[in-house]
Amino acid sequence: MTISATAVRFDEHSMWVDLTDGRTLGVPLAWFPRLLSATPAQRDQVEISRVGLHWEELDEDISIAGLIAGRGDVTIAPEHVA
C-alpha cells in the first residue's frame, strides 16, 4: 500500500500532515528551515502529490516516506560535535 498525504496544516511550531492510512504526523518546523522562515501565506501554497509535498515559491520538496522515517531537511549538513 502506498501512503500519501491528504491534507497539510501548520501551527506556530509544527507541520501536521494527514495521511491516507488515517495517521496524522506532526513534525517540528525547525526540521525544515525554509518552512520555518516562510510566511503563513507561503506555507499555505503547498501542492500535495502521491509521493510528497511541494512548495514552488519556497523551492521545498518533502517526501512522505521521509516524514514517516523521521527525516528532516536533508539538504543541510548536520553539525558534528567533537
Q: Band the pLDDT of 44: cuts 50, 70, 90.
A: very high
**HEC sequence for the chain:** CCCCEEEEEECCCEEEEEECCCCEEEEEHHHCHHHHHCCHHHHCCCEECCCEEEECCCCEEEEHHHHHHCCCCCCCCCCCCC
Average pLDDT, the chain: 91
- Residue 75 falls inside a structural domain: no
Question: Phi and psi of 33, rounded to 5°?
Answer: -55, -35
Average pLDDT score over residue span 40-69: 96
Q: Output the CA torsion sign for 37, 66, 20, 46.
A: positive
81: in domain: no
* Residue 30, in any domain of the structure: yes
**65 in a domain, yes or no?**
yes
pLDDT band at 71 (very low <50, low <70, confident <90, very high): confident
78 occurs within a structural domain: no
Q: Quote the number of domains for the chain.
A: 1
- Mean pLDDT along residues 68-74: 85
Domain of 19 in residue numbering reads as 5-69
Q: What is the CATH number of the domain that holds 22?
A: 3.30.2020.40
